Structure formats: C-alpha cells, structure tokens
Amino acid sequence: MSAAVSAPRITAPTPLRRPPALCLALLAAPIATGANAPVLILPDIARSLGVSTAHATWVVTAFAWAMTVGTPLFAALVRHRGLRTTLLASAVAALAGTALVAVAPWLPLTLLGRAAQAAGGAGLIAVAMNLAGSARRMGAITAGFGILGAAGPLLGSTLAGMVNWRAPLALSALALLAVPAVWRHTASTAPERPTHAAPFDTVGAGLVAALASALVLIPMAPFVGAPAAAAVALPLALHVRRRPDGFAPAAVLRSRAFVSSALLAFSFSTSYFILLFALPELAQRRTNWSTESIGTGQLAALLTGSALSWLLAAAAARLGHRRVLTVLIALGTAAPLTAAFASWGPALLLAAAAAVFVATGSNAVLSVHAAQHAPTAQRPAAIGLFVLCYQLGGALGPALATLLVLT
C-alpha cells in the first residue's frame, strides 16, 4: 500500500504545490485554542459585559454552532470557487470577527464577532484539509488541533490575567499568520473557478445549516431541537433526490465508507468533548487530588494523546485501514467506560488521553478515507460534511457533559 493517499482535490489542470504540513497545522489549529480559551474566564466576561455567567456561556456555544454550520458552507465554496477564494473569504471573516470581539461593548455584538471568527476558522480548516493530501499530513493538522485545543483554557486564563478577557478570544487569529504562505502555494491552482461549475445549491445549504442548528439545540432544548430536526430532515432528503449533485451530494451520502467514517467521527468527538468538560468534576468527586493537580494532569494527558495521534496517522498507510479502525474502536469504547467507573486518578487521565487520541486520530485517518471513496468533484463536499459531523460532537459534548455530570 502506498505511503500517501490521493488528496481530496477540487480540480487542477496543473499540479498543486502543497504547503508544508506545519504551515497547514498553523492555518487550522489555532481555531481550537480560540474555541476553548473562554472556558475558565466566563465570569470575567460576564462581569465586563454586565450579564450573568449563564448568558456568557453563549460565547462558547455561538462559536461551536458557527463552526458546525460554517464547515460545509466553506467546503462548498472550495468546490465552487476554488481554494484561493475560500482562503481569502475565510481570512476576512476571521479578521473581521476578531476585530469586533476586541471592541464589542455588548454581548450580542460579541456573539456576532465570535460567530464570524468561528465561520472564518471553519473555512481555514477546510482549505487546510483539502491541501493535506495524505493521512500523515492530515495527522499533523489534527494533532495540532488537539494540542492547541487542550492548552486553550490554560492559555486563556493566563492571557486574561496578563491583559484582559478579550485577548484570549483573539488567539484564533494566529491562524492568519499562515495565510500568506498558503496563498503562495495555491497560486498553481488554475483556473481560479473549478471546472465543476454547477450553480450553488442555496436550498440545500440552508437545509443542512438548519438541520445542524436543530441538532445543536437538542441537549439544551430537546422539545424544540428534536421536532425541528425531524421537520428539516424530510425536506432535506427529498431535496437530495431532486438535486443529487447539490450541496449534500447523493453520491457522498450513499457511500458506505463516508457514512461509517462520519458516524464514527461523530461518536468519538462527542465522547471526547464530554470527557473534556466532565473529567475535572469526576476527578474531584472520586479522588483526593487538588484542583491544580487535576488541571495539570488533564493538560498533560490531552497533550500526550494529541501528540500520539499523529503517530497513528503517520503509520496508517502501513498498518492498513482495518487495523487502524480496530485500534480506534477499541480505545474509543474503553475511554468512556473507564471514565464512567474508574475511581483511580491515573485511570481517569488515561481515559482522557485515549479519548483525545481517538478523536484526533480518527479525524485525520477517517476524513481521508471518506474523501477517497467520493467522486473527485465531490471530495470537498465530502470533507465538509465529514468535518460537520466531527464538529457536531464538539457542540453537543459540553452540553451532554452538563446534563450527565455537571448538574
């Protein structure tokens, strides 16, 4: 088996010069830091904006929602307008959102800025993943995502103490440092508009965004979210039949490789984010560790698991898909079971390390696998829909952790 797998390409008459893997990681990973940076400083945000801490948590929720919805939208932009247009639009959205967050005096404007940041970040991730080209390079992106996401709360708290609470919310803008280098490497993608020039499927995009939004609402408002999701699902299914090459391509949705990979990624992501938010509380209940020890231990476990996930992605081609899948499913099952029943502190930390290892490793390996089995013209859409499933776990996990453990 070849050490590199075919890249999820849009179309390119001339060969695509791929940026270095670290450059792609810098383009994508800071969004994870920005997502988690507010976790420990929500009371500071609430006091500054004159709202309750409960209302301030929308700073996290709005970010997760915009990431979930923005991912397939920007993937569609890659498919219809190419990498350079998507890179530029994403960078503008991320920069505008960061600027708004830096000056917004009220919570609604802050939420608008956070949503723009997240949507722009989703576009940058879509560009990075389309340029990856192999499981090894995809692994560098997702490992960086996991590492910076794990460090986000501590970095956010430290930076807020040194400057103010607005500074941590700007950490995702570090991704913009990679834009010039990536822009140069996409110069060879001509023409700018891909040859797959079907009209943009506005109805399909709206239905997918509505379905994702309804699903995000289910843990917090099940009597609203669940009926809304059911009401959107049927029109979306009918629309896919009418427009099989639209925003949610029928060839992708009918692919067993895509469906199984996306469902696994969603499951692993949800499990990881539940553990991420629930583990400190579980450790306090079941051990005699101090808060500082729990925080330090969790950070070390998450960093270790994220780093090891890159090794799995790098070895994926040699090991074969079945063996990698076996490792992911075994550890992905063991992590939540260990967290549910273990009363020994190190065992809880091992569960956290396994959860982030599985989530980031599956994101790297399964995204490439899912895109490989999609028609070439539909691969950007396949990546966007796959990442949407992964991001849904990031949006649902914290809410489920609150319901299962934190209340």
One DSSP character per residue, 73-110 reads HHHHHHHHH-HHHHHHHHHHHHHHHHHHHHH--SHHHH
Residue 311 and residue 150: Cα distance in Å, rounded?
Answer: 18
Residue 72 and residue 380: Cα distance in Å, rounded?
Answer: 9
**Nearest of 58, 295, 281, 28 to residue 158 by alpha carbon:** 295
Q: What pTM does this model have?
A: 0.80
**CB-CB contact of 363 with 142 (8 Å):** yes
Residue 176 and residue 205: Cα distance in Å, rounded?
Answer: 26
**Nearest of 306, 266, 294, 283 to residue 397 by alpha carbon:** 266
pLDDT recorded at residue 105: 93
Q: Which two tokens stand for residue 91?
A: 């960078």
Residue 26 and residue 143: Cα distance in Å, rounded?
Answer: 11
Higher pLDDT pick, 145 / 344: 344
Higher pLDDT pick, 2 / 173: 173
Residue 263 and residue 166: Cα distance in Å, rounded?
Answer: 36
Read off the pLDDT of each residue in 260-281 and give the average, rounded to a whole number. 89
For the segment 50-92, what is each residue's pLDDT rounded down to a tens digit?
A: 988 778 878 888 898 898 888 888 888 887 888 899 999 999 9
For the segment 153-212, what is each residue's pLDDT rounded down to a tens digit?
A: 888 888 988 999 999 999 999 999 999 999 987 765 443 455 445 678 889 989 999 999
**Nearest of 296, 249, 299, 251 to residue 276 by alpha carbon:** 299
For the segment 246-259, what is each residue's pLDDT rounded down to a tens digit?
A: 889 999 999 999 99
> DSSP secondary-structure letter at 50?
T
Reported residue count of the chain is 407
> DSSP secondary-structure letter at 10?
-
